């Protein structure tokens, strides 16, 4: 796939490049080594594609003479007059549009790829296929409409069986190389499967039939002059395949600079993935040098789709050489390896770790035949056909590949799904009219915010009135705190784990709020602080424990005016002052939330005064450091949970925007299985807050405002993430038992806020099981069921 996003400066920068430092993997060590040697090759492959996106294969067991003979015979073919080579090009109107071009079991095809604008060739290819796997023409896999895009009997295309008499031995030499690469690809299938933590035969089971790919032999003739315009041997691109095996003639590699290059981030040394944003980054091209008698390997978009981006499909190119430096030109022997065309391509880890797929579901044939005229590949109906195959969402009726599809019905289903998706999107609401609008504008905005809470329990608000520099100051202070040495941070650890304020590291387990005691502790560090005398919300429960057991703080903070309030004693100095200013400023958001509750659901002043603290007096800074490559798939930044109190206010990190996700599947709720949830990302909008409803407030609104299950993905990016979290409309911990706001017709029995919130705080603690004496599987299962059913 070519890269239109690359600007001219990047595309045509001078081809001089330093050598890329890429990992080496020994095929012999993997095939014949002991367990430690085999695992070392798997680890090297995994590292290579997590970082550079390319690996060098050594000790491949492909005989050097086989490569040398295929190279020599190919060079003889490309030296033939152009009119002679043209006899072996694909005929006009050649039916298959497949990537493979050669569709017979044993055949070849010649093609000019690029010229220099003056009639001189820059790149010409010879495709060769000579599989050892028998094809059963009666098998529908080979004979169906889609099958004929990739396979045809030799009698169908006799021109593919004609080999040039001028180059005796060309067929035999290229066939021998094809057979060696077939065997090497089987080993690579297993290597990649193990590197991804899959069954060793995961890819082999999806490549059981005759290969649909040819070997591509590329000839890059010598260049005496620079080509016209922006032409080059091969422009920057990434492959669509599963993986590519490449070996080359070494003539002029180092001196001419006309060989394979990969795009690398100059600052990190990481290969640039095909999905990455290139504009604005400091990148450079680096030369890939093939090890002697070895191969280089890169993966394509297909592998990136299967691995959900874990394996990089690196951007690469073949630039023009320095004119006159390459007397013989270059030969590259390449195998763009693909599984069977009917293999479904989808994220292999998403169902296990709950991560959101980066790509839609597809299948190999569709990926490799975008330009085909087959109905199932029709460009204008592509999405409809994906849905018809069940390969876009799980709502489409399954059909077999190649069966006719009711396109009108599919389009109607698509429209319905679009409408459903829009209804379930996290809404962005401008709340400024709640402050300065007319009554009609206030009412409309209150209903809009309420509709967001009633649909997903979440909203992103603009127009909140909190200055950006106030938020930035807290984030800067937070980063300064968390980036300190561990021992310095531990000075603010109360020594009692989560629930006692101060600093804690990896001592929280959000999934336990849904009764799930099977997950590892969350990958998050927290700093919890509050204004002296704070009397509402989860933070108040934590601060109260600190005051009772550790501190003499007795400061009083008036709930409706925070202007004279200061932070609790013991708050880190780098955070205390900006946090105080921030909490005073966020009072505005609390007042907006209270007004929306009153206007939309009819809550009264008396009710709010009785049970809610409208101010935001507590603060939690959640710091998500980068997790290691070895982190398990089920590790979360914060596990699936429902917030406890009133309205949570979150400022997302502009430096690392993704991570917060909401389950919008109505049928699942708090009692469902993780694999049934439908996760959507909370969108990042600059200078906004994310609001979401907690369990107690949802209960008091009769369930009108939804308390949704949400989570934070573990931070697998290189940059850390810091979320600023506070509360608005926090429940008073000393409020009397309360059933709910009368206008919402609450149906659940009254509950004391202190008891409710204290239990919820305890549930975060990994020690909860021991503290409650849940020592047997039966006791744990019973407690889990109780939590899921009641949501306490």
Structure tokens at 80: 């033939």
Percent of the chain with pLDDT over 90: 35
**Cβ partners under 8 Å of residue 324, min gap 6:** 222, 223, 224
Task: Give the model's pLDDT for residue 112.
Answer: 85
Residue boundaries of the structural domains of the chain: 8-342, 350-424, 427-790
Structure tokens at 755: 């008891």
**Per residue in 626-645, pLDDT tens?**
887 666 767 889 988 888 88
- Has residue 624 got a pLDDT over 90? yes
Mean pLDDT of 222-250: 79
Report the alpha-carbon distance of residue 448 to residue 371 in Å, rounded.
45
Task: Give the model's pLDDT for residue 725.
Answer: 94
Task: Give the model's pLDDT for residue 675.
Answer: 67
For 427-790, CATH number? Answer: 2.60.120.330
Report the alpha-carbon distance of residue 587 to residue 179 in Å, rounded.
72
Task: Give the model's pLDDT for residue 551.
Answer: 47
Task: Give the model's pLDDT for residue 230.
Answer: 66
Nearest to 502 by CA among 351, 591, 621, 646: 621
Which has more pLDDT, 563 or 693? 693
- Has residue 604 got a pLDDT over 80? yes
Report the alpha-carbon distance of residue 93 to residue 391 in Å, rounded.
31
Mean pLDDT of 78-86: 92
Which band of pLDDT confidence, cut at 50, 70 and 90, is reported for residue 749?
confident
**Per residue in 264-286, pLDDT tens?**
888 888 888 877 665 666 788 88
**Cβ partners under 8 Å of residue 45, min gap 6:** 23, 25, 55, 191, 192, 195
- Has residue 65 got a pLDDT over 80? yes
- In DSSP terms, 671 is beta-bridged to none
- Has residue 734 got a pLDDT over 50? yes
Task: Give the model's pLDDT for residue 372.
Answer: 59
Nearest to 353 by CA among 58, 706, 634: 634
Report the alpha-carbon distance of residue 653 to residue 659 in Å, rounded.
10
**Cβ partners under 8 Å of residue 668, min gap 6:** 676, 677, 678, 709
The answer to whether the CB of 337 falls within 8 A of the CB of 241 is yes
Task: Give the model's pLDDT for residue 423.
Answer: 64
Task: Give the model's pLDDT for residue 770.
Answer: 84
Which has more pLDDT, 398 or 770? 770
**Per residue in 88-98, pLDDT tens?**
887 655 555 55
- Has residue 701 got a pLDDT over 90? yes
Alpha-carbon distances of 607 from 371, 439, 447, rounded to whole Å: 64, 22, 20
- Has residue 216 got a pLDDT over 80? yes
Which band of pLDDT confidence, cut at 50, 70 and 90, is reported for residue 362?
confident
Mean pLDDT of 234-255: 75
- In DSSP terms, 650 is beta-bridged to 690, 725
Mean pLDDT of 530-538: 62
Which has more pLDDT, 659 or 677? 659
Which has more pLDDT, 67 or 628? 67
Q: What is the DSSP string of 329-368?
A: -EEEEEEEE---TT-EE--SSHHHH-PPPSS--EEHHHHH
Report the alpha-carbon distance of residue 559 to residue 730 in Å, rounded.
10
Decide whether 8-342 matches 427-790 in CATH topology: yes
Task: Give the model's pLDDT for residue 697.
Answer: 92
Nearest to 432 by CA among 596, 187, 237, 241: 596
Which band of pLDDT confidence, cut at 50, 70 and 90, is reported for residue 14?
very low
**Per residue in 379-426, pLDDT tens?**
444 444 444 433 333 333 322 333 333 434 544 554 555 555 566 789
Comparing 25-34, 95-104, 311-320, 466-475, which segment has the lowest mean pLDDT? Answer: 95-104
Which has more pLDDT, 110 or 258? 110
Residue 472: phi, psi to the nearest 5? -60, -35
The topology (CATH level 3) of 8-342 is Jelly Rolls (2.60.120)
**Per residue in 300-332, pLDDT tens?**
989 998 998 889 888 888 877 776 666 678 899
Comparing 107-111, 401-405, 733-737, which segment has the lowest mean pLDDT? Answer: 401-405
- Has residue 708 got a pLDDT over 80? yes
Q: What is the DSSP string of 140-198?
A: HHHHSTTGGGT---GGG-GGGG---TTSTTHHHHHHHHHHHHHHHHHHHHHHHHHHTT-
**Per residue in 116-131, pLDDT tens?**
767 778 888 899 999 8
**Per residue in 154-175, pLDDT tens?**
777 788 888 999 999 999 999 9
- Residues recorded for the chain: 792
**Per residue in 440-463, pLDDT tens?**
999 999 999 999 999 999 999 999
Residue 689 CA, distance from chain mean position: 24
Which band of pLDDT confidence, cut at 50, 70 and 90, is reported for residue 246?
very high
**What's the mean pLDDT when you consider all of the chain?**
81
Nearest to 126 by CA among 414, 402, 332: 332
């Amino acid at each position: 796939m070519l890269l239109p996003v690359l600007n001219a400066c990047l595309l045509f920068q001078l081809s001089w490049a330093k050598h890329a430092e890429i990992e080496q993997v020994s095929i012999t060590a993997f095939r014949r080594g002991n367990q430690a040697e085999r695992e070392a090759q798997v680890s090297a492959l995994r590292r290579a594609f997590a970082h550079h996106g390319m690996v060098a294969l050594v000790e491949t067991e492909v005989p050097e003479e086989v490569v040398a003979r295929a190279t020599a015979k190919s060079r003889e073919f490309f030296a033939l007059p152009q009119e002679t080579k043209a006899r072996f090009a694909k005929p006009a109107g050649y039916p298959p549009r497949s990537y493979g071009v050669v569709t017979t079991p044993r055949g070849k095809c010649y093609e000019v790829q690029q010229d220099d604008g003056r009639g001189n060739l820059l790149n010409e290819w010879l495709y060769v296929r000579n599989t050892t796997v028998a094809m059963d023409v009666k098998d529908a896999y080979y004979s169906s409409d889609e099958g004929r895009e990739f396979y045809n009997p030799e009698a169908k295309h006799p021109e593919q069986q004609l080999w040039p008499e001028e180059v005796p031995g060309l067929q035999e030499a290229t066939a021998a190389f094809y057979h060696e690469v077939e065997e090497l690809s089987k080993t690579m299938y297993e290597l990649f499967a193990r590197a991804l933590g899959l069954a060793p035969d995961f890819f082999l089971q999806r490549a059981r039939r005759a290969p649909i790919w040819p070997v591509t032999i590329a000839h890059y003739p010598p260049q005496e002059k620079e080509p016209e315009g922006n032409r080059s041997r091969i422009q920057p691109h990434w492959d669509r395949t599963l993986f590519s095996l490449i070996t080359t003639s070494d003539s002029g590699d180092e001196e001419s600079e006309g060989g394979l290059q990969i795009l690398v981030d100059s600052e990190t040394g990481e290969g640039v993935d095909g999905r990455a944003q290139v504009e604005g980054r400091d990148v450079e091209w680096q030369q890939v040098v093939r090890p002697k008698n070895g191969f280089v390997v890169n993966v394509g978009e297909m592998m990136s789709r299967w691995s959900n981006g874990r394996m990089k499909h690196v951007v690469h190119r073949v630039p023009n050489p320095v004119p006159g430096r390459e007397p013989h030109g270059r030969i590259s022997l390449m195998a763009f390896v693909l599984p069977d065309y009917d293999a479904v391509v989808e994220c292999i880890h998403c169902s296990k770790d709950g991560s959101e797929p980066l790509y839609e579901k597809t299948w190999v044939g569709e990926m490799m035949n975008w330009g085909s005229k087959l109905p199932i590949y029709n460009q204008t109906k592509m999405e409809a056909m994906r849905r018809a195959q069940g390969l876009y969402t799980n709502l489409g009726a399954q059909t077999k590949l190649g069966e006719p599809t009711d396109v009108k019905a599919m389009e109607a289903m698509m429209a319905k799904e679009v409408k459903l998706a829009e209804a379930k999107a996290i809404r962005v609401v401008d709340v400024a009219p709640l402050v300065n609008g007319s009554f009609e504008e206030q009412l409309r905005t209150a209903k809009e915010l309420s509709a967001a809470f009633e649909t997903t329990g979440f909203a992103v608000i603009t127009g909140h009135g909190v200055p950006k520099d106030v938020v930035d100051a807290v984030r800067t202070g937070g980063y300064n705190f968390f980036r300190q040495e561990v021992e310095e941070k531990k000075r603010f650890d109360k020594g009692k784990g989560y629930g006692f304020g101060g600093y804690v590291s990896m001592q929280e387990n959000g999934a336990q709020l849904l009764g799930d005691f099977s997950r590892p502790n969350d990958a998050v560090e927290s700093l919890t602080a509050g204004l002296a005398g704070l009397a509402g919300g989860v933070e108040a429960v934590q601060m109260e424990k600190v005051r009772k057991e550790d501190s003499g703080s007795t400061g009083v903070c008036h709930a409706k005016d925070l202007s004279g309030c200061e932070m609790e004693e013991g708050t880190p100095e780098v955070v205390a002052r900006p946090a105080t200013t921030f909490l005073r400023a966020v009072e505005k958001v609390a007042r907006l939330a209270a007004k929306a509750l009153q206007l939309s659901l009819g809550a009264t002043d008396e009710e709010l005064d009785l049970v809610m603290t409208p101010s935001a007096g507590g603060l939690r800074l959640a710091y998500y450091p980068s997790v290691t490559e070895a982190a398990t798939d089920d590790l979360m930044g914060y596990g699936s949970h429902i917030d406890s109190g009133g309205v949570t206010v979150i400022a997302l990190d502009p430096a690392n925007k993704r991570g917060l996700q909401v389950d919008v599947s109505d049928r699942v709720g708090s009692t469902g299985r993780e694999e049934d949830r439908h996760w959507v990302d909370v969108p990042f909008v600059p200078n906004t807050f994310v609001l979401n409803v907690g369990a107690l407030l949802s209960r008091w609104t009769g369930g009108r405002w939804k308390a949704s299950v949400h989570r934070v993905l573990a931070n697998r990016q290189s940059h850390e993430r810091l979320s600023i979290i506070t509360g608005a409309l926090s429940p008073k911990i000393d409020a009397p038992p309360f059933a709910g706001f009368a206008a919402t017709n609450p149906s659940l029995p009254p509950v004391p806020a202190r008891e409710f919130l204290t239990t919820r705080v305890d549930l975060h603690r990994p020690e909860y099981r021991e503290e409650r004496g849940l020592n047997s599987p039966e006791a744990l299962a019973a407690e889990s069921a109780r939590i899921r059913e009641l949501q306490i």
